[in-house]
Amino acid sequence: MSPDFAHAAFSMDDFTSVAVTEQQISDKLDQIAAQIREDYEGKEVLLVGVLKGAVMVMADLARRLPPSVEMDWMAVSSYGSGTKSSGVVRILKDLDADLTGRHVLIVEDIIDTGMTLSWLLGNLRSRGAESVEVAALLRKPDAVQVEISVRYVGFDIPSDFVVGYGLDWAEKYRTLPFVAVLKPSVYSED
């Protein structure tokens, strides 16, 4: 590993601002995990992470929960024109677990229009789960337009495009320990 790579994993020049700091994420996950432990007392929870964006929040949230929690993963793709979700979703990787009688908690990185999540809730509920709830680290203002109940929300943020802590731009920046607003010059240059 070159010294450059080891010491400069990212440059702050790529961001307009930090939307949520590493400390804020950590404190919020402590709070959400405490609430989940209380709400699911005596129940076995199956965490369902949505690839790839939810990997960081899943790992950090799951480690704050009792060792009885299970993790499973789904990958979905939203059909849509350009960058907007259409609500028409295709399953790229399905769950391994049978949801019959399970308490399912979907773990999401971000809810933008909410269309992907709305579809996912319907799909998982139709599989005979005892309960299906949602924990999302971030939520953008458009999400209110769709009727979905999100039981646990970390932060309500503005509509700006954000990266970090699982969120990417062209597969980059997922490994940042914080969430930052990407400078438009980064994605407009080529």
Q: Is 71 exposed, middle or buried (0-12, 13-18, 19+ CB in 10 A)?
A: middle
Residue 53 binds to ligand XMP (criterion: CB under 6 A): yes
Residues in the chain: 190
Verify binding: residue 164, Mg ion, rule CB under 5 A: no
DSSP codes, 76-128: EEEE-STTS--SEEEEEE--SS--TT-EEEEEEEEESSSHHHHHHHHHHHTTT
Using the minimum distance from each CB to ligand XMP, give the nearer residue, 40 or 104: 104
Which residues in the 92-111 window bind Mg ion by CB under 5 A?
A: 109
Rounded to a whole number of angstroms, the minimum distance from the CB of residue 62 to Mg ion is: 17
From CA 146, how far away is CA 125, in angstroms rounded? Answer: 17
| Residue 33 binding target from Mg ion, ligand XMP, none, CB below 5 to 8 Å by type | none
The active-site residue out of 14, 27, 112, 160 is: 112
Q: Determine if 114 is a binding residue for Mg ion (CB under 5 A).
A: no
Reply yes or no on whether 112 is catalytic. Answer: yes
Provide the CA 65 distance to its chain's centre, in angstroms. 17
Q: Which residues form the interface with Mg ion (CB under 5 A)?
A: 53, 109
Q: Which residues form the interface with ligand XMP (CB under 6 A)?
A: 53, 78, 85, 109-117, 161-163, 167-168
